[in-house]
C-alpha cells in the first residue's frame, strides 16, 4: 500500500479525532503525551496523560490549543500500550484485592441477609444427602444462594 500523504503535511493540516495522542515539539507545553479530548473548528482540547518519560500519569491537566498552535505537536503512541507486564499484573492484583475487600465489607454490613444467602448456598452444595434434597432443589438452592451473595456483596442492598 502506498502512502499518498504529502511529506510536508503538518499536524495543523491533519485530521485529528478524539482519543488521538500527541506530543509537544516545542517548549510551549509541558513535556509528555496528550490525548485529544475535544476538537472544534481546528481548536483542540488536550488532556496530559503521560509524563516526559512516557509513563502514564493522571494529571487532570487540560490544555486548550488554538488552531495556530497545532504545529507545536506531533503524533504519539498511546502510553497505555507501553506499560510493563509487571505493572499490569500489579495493577490487576491491586484491583482484585480491593474488590474482595469491598465484597467482604458489603457482606459484613448486612450480616443477616449474608447468613441466609450463605446457608442457602451451603444447603444446596452439601445438604443433598443430609437433607434428602432432589438434585433440582439442590441446584436451585446453590443458584439462589450464590446470586444472593453476589447481590449483597456488590453493595446494591
How many CB atoms lie under 10 A from the CB of residue 73?
26
- Helices then strands (H, E): number in the chain? 3, 5
Residues in the chain: 157
CA separation (Å) from 115 to 78, 145, 146? 47, 10, 12
pLDDT at 91: 84
73 neighbors 88 (Cβ within 8 angstroms): no
pLDDT at 18: 84
Q: What is the chain's pLDDT, residue by residue, as a tens digit (157 residues)?
A: 444 444 444 454 467 888 888 999 887 888 889 999 988 877 889 999 988 888 888 888 898 888 888 888 898 888 876 667 787 788 889 999 999 999 999 999 999 999 999 999 999 998 877 788 889 999 999 999 999 999 999 988 7
pTM over 0.75? The answer is: no
Measured torsion, CA atoms of residues 54, 57, 62, 64, in degrees rounded to the nearest 10:
0
| Interacting residues of 73 by C-beta distance below 8 A, sequence separation 6+ | 11, 22, 23, 24, 25, 29, 34, 46, 65
Three cell numbers written together for 80: 497505555
How many CB atoms lie under 10 A from the CB of residue 79?
19
pLDDT at 107: 95
Spatial distance between the Cα atoms of 9 and 6, rounded to a whole number of angstroms: 6
Spatial distance between the Cα atoms of 65 and 38, rounded to a whole number of angstroms: 10
62 neighbors 46 (Cβ within 8 angstroms): yes
16 neighbors 76 (Cβ within 8 angstroms): no
pLDDT at 71: 84
Amino acid at each position: 500500500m502506498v502512502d499518498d500523504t504529502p511529506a510536508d503535511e503538518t499536524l495543523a493540516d491533519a485530521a485529528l479525532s478524539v482519543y488521538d495522542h500527541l506530543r509537544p515539539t516545542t517548549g510551549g507545553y509541558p513535556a509528555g503525551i496528550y490525548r485529544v479530548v475535544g476538537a472544534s473548528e481546528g481548536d483542540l482540547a488536550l488532556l496530559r496523560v503521560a509524563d516526559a518519560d512516557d509513563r502514564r500519569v493522571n494529571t487532570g491537566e487540560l490544555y486548550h490549543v488554538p488552531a495556530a498552535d497545532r504545529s507545536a505537536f506531533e503524533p504519539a503512541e498511546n502510553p497505555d500500550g507501553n506499560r510493563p507486564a509487571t505493572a499490569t499484573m500489579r495493577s490487576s492484583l491491586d484491583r482484585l484485592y480491593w474488590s474482595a475487600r469491598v465484597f467482604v465489607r458489603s457482606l459484613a454490613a448486612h450480616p443477616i441477609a449474608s447468613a441466609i444467602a450463605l446457608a442457602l448456598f451451603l444447603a444446596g452444595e452439601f445438604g443433598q444427602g443430609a437433607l434428602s434434597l432432589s438434585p433440582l432443589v439442590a441446584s436451585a438452592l446453590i443458584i439462589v444462594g450464590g446470586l444472593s451473595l453476589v447481590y449483597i456483596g456488590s453493595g446494591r442492598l
